[in-house]
Structure 1
């Protein structure tokens, strides 16, 4: 390992740079105390120097700077680049090689008449189909997710045998890669998969069923697998909310002879409502962004993210206006999700104000 490191830095003069860094650290920090304290003082001399020069006021912003850089590079910069793609056209990703399009991409995505051919715009039907399929998925998946996450959190918040083990079991799918989840369920749900062969052996069906592409089953299994994969995350949030409710309220209610159902409706759910609101909005946003598991399973419907992925040319042959149309579609969905988040903030603020 050290040989590889030495080869990587060969010819860079890194020993001299490291020695100079340590020398400056000794001069600036003047380390005292144990060996560990002295070492940390020498290594962290830029922070100490900044603190001496500027005081304690700017120091928190210095620690926030790496996070801001990450957000700027991987969140804000791509967002503004996406806006640029939506206002230009062409196959290249370089703005110098793209022509100004103005609102043409919006017309290509939402107008019934294609702005380039003056004929029927087939892209609109494809986009609306993906939006409708995603809407159906969200309408069924989000309530099911929230209901079972709440039910699981309520059960695992009680004193049951092996409570820590069951919490780990329900949270385990969250730690799996979405692609792994998709391939795992593909082995179960494909035409010659475990489920079809088992049902045939039991005599429940006569021939194998392609559960992931059959129109009668593809949405059901999409909702089931996606809920299975993400249930533990929302369960953990609700579990934290349940544990934040003061125990004194339950003890007082028990002394008054209140039933468990009444405590659930009068104490638990009202006090858990802010957490439930956060979970609902997060699950809504996540459901609209569903892609990895569905893509790996190759389900028989197309989500809005899959539409953007394919239209942009990331899979298949790029088209003349595909990247601009995909950027425009992603901006439209981003605006919708931003409105959802603002609604959640407004509702939370109103509840806190009351």
Structure 2
């Protein structure tokens, strides 16, 4: 525009760029720097080169945490990519009270993860609601202490995290569903398409961009899982729920190995970028 200075747009973007620099660029640069240091918070940092990374790749607990995080992601994705889509299709109907249902279903999303984890601890307790229902229905011979069982602890955490986040992903899909032209469904009904065919041939192809976004977000959330692990299991039993997020916290704030924790965090950050790029590559041609 005439009279507009070249730097005017940058002035408007300056507050956002400043926040981005303070809360992302600076912490990232500090983490990269610390990953090459030995630093215990008390003593001055000492440069150790690639020693932290050499230790990392020979650390059995790191590989246990990596395996658990990948298992967490494998269980997390169906809960937050497929099931919320079906829920979104359901709540997209014009039914009495559907807005209230949407609001109630979204409540766990805005509830503190700490509060959610504490509540679910009572559900999974040996004398909790879940055991009471299953034993009462004759599906269990005796109660299970889910969070103390190496087989059940990780699935229990996946269920908690998935239940809390499902409403958010449902709303993402709902926004996509409401952007689809309703005349497509009307034409399909005239042609005699069943509800399943309309879902598979109209809804799913048009929702691919939203599925791609949801898949990326779910993968990143799964790889960073921390709060539920911290509150409910502390990585136990027998490291069965030791995730990369919790392992980084433990290394940094329990053992005060900030350099090593930064190295693990850097590897996790790179892994998350790779996962996001792979997902983008797989869905790019379909979105």
Same fold (TM over 0.5): yes
Quick check: 1:162 aligned with 2:97? Answer: yes
CA distance in 2 between counterparts of 1:231 and 1:283 reads 10
Q: Which shows bigger deviation, 188-197 or 138-147?
A: 188-197
Deviation for aligned residue 1:289: 0.8
In the alignment, which residue of structure 1 is the partner of 2:245?
305
Distance 1:64 1:204 in 2: 59
Give the C-alpha shift of residue 186 in structure 1: 1.2
Matched, 1:171 2:111: no
Indicate how the Cα distance of structure 1 residues 344 and 78 shifts in structure 2: closer, same or farther if over 3 A, else same. same
1:260-313: CA deviation from partner (whole Å, max 9, x where unpaired): 22111111111111111111111011111111122211263211111111011x
| Aligned partner of 2:188 among 227, 245, 253 | 253
Other-structure match for 2:22: 73
Secondary structure, in 3 states, of the residue corresponding to 2:148? Answer: coil
Normalised by the length of structure 1, the TM-score is 0.73
Stretches of structure 2 lacking an aligned partner (at least 5 in a row): none
Cα distance, 1:250–1:207 mapped onto 2, change above 3 Å: closer
From the superposition, tell whether residues 255 and 204 of structure 1 become closer, same or farther in structure 2 (CA, over 3 Å): closer
Matched, 1:263 2:203: no
Q: Compared with structure 1, are the counterparts of its residues 247 and 203 closer, same or farther at alpha carbon in structure 2 (3 Å cutoff)?
A: closer
Question: In 2 relative to 1, CA 206–244 (structure 1 residues): closer, same or farther, beyond 3 Å?
Answer: same
The match for 2:261 among 326, 332, 345 is 326
Give the greater-gyration-radius structure (CA): 1
Unaligned stretches of 5+ residues in structure 1: 1-53, 112-123
Q: Distance in 2 between matches of 1:254 and 1:197?
A: 46
In structure 2, distance between residues paired with 1:242 and 1:159:
13
Call closer, same or farther: CA 1:163–1:328 in 2, change over 3 Å: same
Farther-moved stretch of structure 1 (188-197 vs 225-234): 188-197
Q: How many residues align?
A: 280
1:131 to 66, 79, 96: 66
Moved more, 187-196 or 231-240: 187-196
Matched with 2:130 is 195
What's the offset of the Cα at 1:171? 0.9
Question: For the structure 1 residues 253 and 195, does the alpha-carbon distance in structure 2 shift closer, same or farther, using more than 3 Å as the test?
Answer: closer
The CA distance in 1 between the partners of 2:148 and 2:248, in whole Å, is 20
The aligned runs of 1:1-354 (5 Å cut-off) are 55=4, 57-92=6-41, 97-111=44-58, 124-196=59-131, 208-298=143-233, 300=237, 301-312=241-252, 314=253, 316-318=254-256, 322-347=257-282, 349-351=284-286
| CA distance in structure 1 between the partners assigned to 2:137 and 2:122 by the alignment | 19
Higher relative contact order (CA 8 A, sep 6+): 2
How much has 1:199 moved relative to structure 2?
A: 5.4
RMSD, matched Cα: 2.2
Return closer, same or farther for 1:90/1:148 CA change in 2, 3 Å cut-off: same
User: 2: distance between equivalents of 1:198 and 1:250?
Assistant: 41
1:166 Cα deviation from its structure 2 partner: 1.3
Q: Scaled by the length of structure 2, what TM-score is found? A: 0.89
